Structure 1
Amino acid sequence: MRARKSSDLVSPAGLIKLMTHTMMGAALGLAFSLALILCNPAVASLLHHGGRQAAIVFVLTLVTTFAIGATLTGVVFILAEDKQS
């Protein structure tokens, strides 16, 4: 019987890979929110009338959503890479 190899996800290198995916997702969310504000006048108008708090909530919602999605995708990629090796 083969000994079980621990997952790459719980190692320090795996956690660094996972943090990298999270940071990439946050950066993409920030870029997407900026592009949406600049390209869509309706969104810009809503945020202008909503004030500073509305803009902060809008940007943080997109950043968080993209970061969570990228983190979950990173978990899948790391586990799939782990199975191949």
Structure 2
Amino acid sequence: MRAKKSSDLISPAGLIKLMTHAMMGAALGLTFSIALILCNPAVASLINHGGSQAAAVFALTLVTTFAIGATLTGVVFILAEDKQS
């Protein structure tokens, strides 16, 4: 019987991989929010009429959503790598 191997997700290298995925998601979310504000006049108008904090809330919402999604995707990728090796 084989000894059960610890998951790569719990190791320091796994946490660094997860943080990397989260940072990539945050960067992608920020890029997408800025592009959406600059390229879509309807969104720019809504943010312009939304008050002083509207742009920050819009950008932070997209950054957080993309970061969480990329982190969960990273978890799936790391677990899939564990099963293959």
TM-score range for the pair, normalised by the shorter chain length: over 0.9
- Counterpart code for 1:38: L
Distance in structure 2 (CA, Å) of the matches to 1:46 and 1:16: 38
Alignment of 1:48 with 2:48, yes or no, is yes
Give SS of 2:53's match.
helix
Aligned alpha-carbon RMSD (Å): 0.5
TM-score with structure 1 setting the length? 0.98
Residue 65 of structure 2 is matched in structure 1 by 65
Q: Aligned residues: percent identity?
A: 88
- Shift in Å, 1:52: 2.2
Residue 21 of structure 1 is matched in structure 2 by 21
Aligned pair count reads: 85
Structure 1 gaps of 5+ residues are none
TM-score with structure 2 setting the length? 0.98
Residue 84 of structure 1 is matched in structure 2 by 84
